[in-house]
Amino acid sequence: MITMEMKKSIKNPRDRLQKLLEAKGVRPSFQRLRILEILAGTASHPTVDDIYQELVDEIPTLSRTTVYNTLNLLVEKKLVLALSMSEAGMRYDFNTIPHTHFFCNSCSRVIDIETELPESLLQESVDGHKIHDTHIYLNGICKYCLAHSETA
Ligand SMILES: [Zn+2]
Ligand SMILES: [Zn+2]
């Protein structure tokens, strides 16, 4: 059986990620590759700390600062999106195509919502202002927490 996680890693094998880094002029060090690989393999929108915790056993010399600096570099090179959500802190996303996010106030999950963004927000400019990024962010209680509270 092929799980979702496996599908994602098949879609984004390490050599493909290495090429992505090289195409942006970023030296594909092992740490950078592993950080990008974690982001490419999850839809959980991890924090700096989540990524640090996932890698620290494998790379004991890793620091949170290195993870943070690497993420900033990946964001700057537009390989990764940084989502600033006041309650959740900064979360990172490998999917750089504009999409809607749902933030759960109860469990802090950040979930991708499969809805088309309004055409009016996907233009180059609006009302004379040049648009760089479009983020739509909803918040409330996720379906997992709702189901949990119903059975409790
Ligand atoms: Zn929740
Ligand atoms: Zn997302």
Considering every ligand atom shown, identify the ligand nearest to the alpha carbon of residue 112 and give its number: 2
Sign of CA dihedral 93, 80, 83, 38: positive
The whole-angstrom separation of Cα 79 and Cα 85 is 19
Higher pLDDT, 27 or 4: 27
Given 3.30.60, 3.30.1490, 1.10.10, 3.30.300, which CATH number is that of 97-152? 3.30.1490
* Structure confidence at residue 87 (pLDDT): 65
* Structure confidence at residue 82 (pLDDT): 92
Segment 125-152, tens digit of pLDDT:
888 999 887 788 899 999 999 998 876 5
* Structure confidence at residue 115 (pLDDT): 80
Within 10 angstroms of residue 127's Cβ, the number of other Cβ atoms is 4
Q: What average pLDDT does this structure show over 1-15?
A: 63
Q: What average pLDDT does this structure show over 19-44?
A: 95
CB 48 within 8 A of CB 91: no
Q: What average pLDDT does this structure show over 70-87?
A: 90
CB 32 within 8 A of CB 78: no
Q: 5: buried, middle or exposed (CB in 10 Å: 19+, 13-18, 0-12)?
A: exposed
CA 110 to centroid of ligand 1, rounded, Å:
9
Instruction: Calculate what percentage of the chain has a pLDDT beyond 70.
Output: 89
Domain extent listing, the chain: 1-85, 97-152
Neighbours of ion ligand 2 (CB under 5 A): 93, 95, 112
Residue 80 banded pLDDT, cuts 50, 70, 90: very high
Considering every ligand atom shown, identify the ligand nearest to the alpha carbon of residue 111 and give its number: 2
Tokens matching residue 29: 């060090």
CATH class of the domain at 1-85 = mainly alpha
Q: What average pLDDT does this structure show over 90-107?
A: 91
Considering every ligand atom shown, identify the ligand nearest to the alpha carbon of residue 105 and give its number: 1
pTM for this model (two decimals): 0.82
Segment 47-66, tens digit of pLDDT:
999 999 999 999 999 999 99
